[in-house]
Amino acid sequence: MTLWCRTVQKVAHNSRTPFSRTTSYYHTIQAIPRECTGSRVSARDRSQGRIPAVVFAQDLLDQNTDRRSPSRKQILSTERKQIHSILKSVELPFFCSTTFPLQIRAGSGSSVLLDSGKVLPIKVHRDEETGRILNLVFVWADDGTELKVDVPVVFKGVESCPGLKKGGYLKSIRTSLKYLCPAEHISPKIEVDVSNLDIGDRVFMSDIEVHPSWKLLSKNEKMPLCKISATKLENPEPAVM
């Protein structure tokens, strides 16, 4: 088995383009407040071309109440056409690892701005049968705020990978990694370079190079992220999310 140390020392980096900067300038999410909540109100909003949403501080989810900051919780609705447009350009799963400016206006088409800030989507609720978006959940992503983010892993250099040219296959063990990141340094994806991997080589979590402010939220940094296997199993184990 070849050793990982003989391959490139830096196997990955966090990519800040094209999504993280471009999206912030060209996609400002527009929302309006919802005075009432409930299934009937939400159904009415959806029938009018809107998607119910909520935004709050992420530490509102912390079970330790002493760690919670003022939540700035807002019950909102967003424009379905705009959200679909954003998803077409950003694509899942990068949507939930990309920050967006949010503007909350007094009403649809109103020039009155009630609140604004940067947000991170953390949940997209869909209808299991139709796939239609039912609800959106955001957290405030003000600069200086640390957020827990599941960052998708993307593999590059597959075309020139020696192990794959020899008939091996790329086994993806993790599709994303969870980090604690300052909001201003959140990246939509991590690119892992496999162009120098031979059969038997692995990339471990600890091999990943990211922004120095990021903290990996994993108890086992020595867990492999991917490997080049010699033969493909008929029933491979599913990737760990």
Helices (H) and strands (E) in the chain, counts: 4, 14
Of 96, 126, 143, which residue constitutes the final position of a domain? 143
Q: What is the CATH number of the domain that holds 124?
A: 2.40.240.10
Residue that is written with structure tokens 């955001």 in the block: 138
Q: What is the pLDDT along the chain (241 residues), one digit of tens a residue?
A: 444 333 334 455 555 444 444 444 468 999 999 988 899 999 999 999 999 999 999 876 665 555 545 668 999 999 999 999 999 999 888 999 999 999 999 998 899 999 999 999 999 999 999 999 999 999 999 999 999 999 999 999 999 999 999 999 999 999 999 999 999 999 999 999 999 999 999 999 988 999 999 999 988 888 999 999 997 655 555 555 5
Binning the chain into helix, strand and coil, the percentages to the nearest 5 are: 25, 35, 40
**Same domain assignment for residues 127 and 156:** no
Say whether both 156 and 213 belong to one domain: yes
Please indicate, yes or no, whether the overall pTM of this predicted structure exceeds 0.75: yes
Residues forming beta bridges with residue 51, ordered by sequence position: 78
Looking at the fold, whether 36 and 98 belong to one and the same domain comes out as: yes
| DSSP per residue, 225-238 | EEEEESS--SSPPP
Nearest to 74 by CA among 26, 106, 39, 112: 106
Range of the domain at 171: 4-17+147-229
